[in-house]
Amino acid sequence: MVIADEEQLVQSSRKGDLDAFNALVQAYQRQVYNLCLRMLGAAAAEDAAQEAFTTAYRRLDSFRGGNFRAWLLRIASNICCDELRRHRSRPTASLDAALEAGSPADVPSHQAGPEEETLRSELGQHLQQGLATLPAEQRLVIILRDIHGLSYEELTETLHCSLGTVKSRIARGRARMREYLMARRELLPRRFRHKE
């Protein structure tokens, strides 16, 4: 997704126009927040998203043009990875709990019946728990590709790595997710079970 006058807004933001930057924030805040939510869980996501936008404003002069969304998501990705690294060096219960409890409990449902909603919610929890077991770089690439729908080209920009590396990380991340889900297939919706 690219907003219509994005380039103009970026130019104005670089000149210090806060309103222009806030227009960009509003366009991308949902994506940035959701990335942080899937990477860190609900408890830390809000702060991380806010930090991402604050950092982005400060770093506007380092944006060399191109895909603004990829650049913004890259900043958010770095902040998430920093947070995970800090968490590894000073473990606190909250982050793990938030991640492994299938944290995005606040994700609203689209219109669905109660039974479907229950199944969807269960699957969502398993997926979140599965994501939490992945190494950070695989989790990141799976979230960006399979949940946010970034193209491979955008991924190379966001992750700052080669196409081959992107493919390889996606393949390994998906393989792990598949194994995780298949090990719990009896708990999953029918489409996972009848493929045995």
Partner 1 sequence: MLGVLGQFRHRRFRRDLSAYVDDMLSERARRRLEAHLDSCEACRQELAELRATVEALGSLPMAEAPRSFTLAAAPIAEARPRPAARRLEFGLRLATATAAFALTVVLIGDFAGLPGGGDEEEEWVRGELYSATQGTPPAPEAASAGTPEPYGVTEMPNISDVPDILEAPGISDVQREESAADETPAADQTAAPPEGTPIETPAAPLPGVTEPRGEEPTVGAVVSEEEPSEKATLEGAEVEEEVGAGAVGAEVEDEAEAGAVENQAVGEEDGGGLSREEVVRWLEIGLGAGVGVLVIVWALARFQRSMGNRP
Q: Is 107 in the site for partner 1 (CB under 8 A)?
A: yes
Cα four-point dihedral sign 39, 43, 47, 49: positive
Please report how close the Cβ of residue 94 comes to partner 1 at its closest, in angstroms. 17
Q: Could you say which of 10, 43, 124, 129 contacts partner 1 (CB under 8 A)? A: 124
* Nearest to partner 1 of 11, 22 (CB atom): 22
Supply the DSSP symbol for 185.
Answer: G
Q: Restricting to residues 175-194, which ones interact with partner 1 according to CB under 8 A?
A: 175, 177-178, 181-182, 191-192
Q: Letter for the amino acid at 166?
A: V
* 63 binding partner 1? (CB under 8 A): yes
Footprint on residues 74-93 left by partner 1 (CB under 8 A): 74-75, 77-79, 81-82, 84-85, 88
Q: Considering only CA atoms, which of 141, 132, 150 is closest in space to residue 169? A: 141
Q: Where are the beta strands (DSSP E) in 1-159?
A: none
Contact 52, 2 (CB under 8 A): no
Shortest CB 117 distance to partner 1, Å: 11
Is residue 61 close enough to count as binding partner 1 by CB under 8 A? no
**How many CB atoms sit inside 10 A of residue 112's CB?**
12
Q: What distance in Å separates the CA atoms of residue 173 and residue 27, rounded to the nearest whole number?
A: 29
Tell me the window of 3-11, 59-67, 90-98 that interacts with partner 1 (CB under 8 A): 59-67
Report whether 155 contacts 77 (CB < 8 A). Answer: no
Q: CB-wise, 91 or 152, nearer to partner 1?
A: 152
Contact set for partner 1, span 135-164 (CB under 8 A): 135-138, 140, 142, 145-147, 149, 152, 158-162
Q: Which of 30, 97, 118, 187 binds partner 1 (CB under 8 A)?
A: 30
Nearest to partner 1 of 12, 29 (CB atom): 29
Backbone phi, then psi, for 188, in 5-degree steps?
-100, 165
- Judged by beta carbon, residue 97 or residue 175, the one nearer partner 1 is 175
Q: Mapping DSSP to helix (H, G, I), strand (E, B) and coil, where does residue 103 land?
A: coil
Number of other residues whose CB lies within 10 A of the CB of residue 152: 11
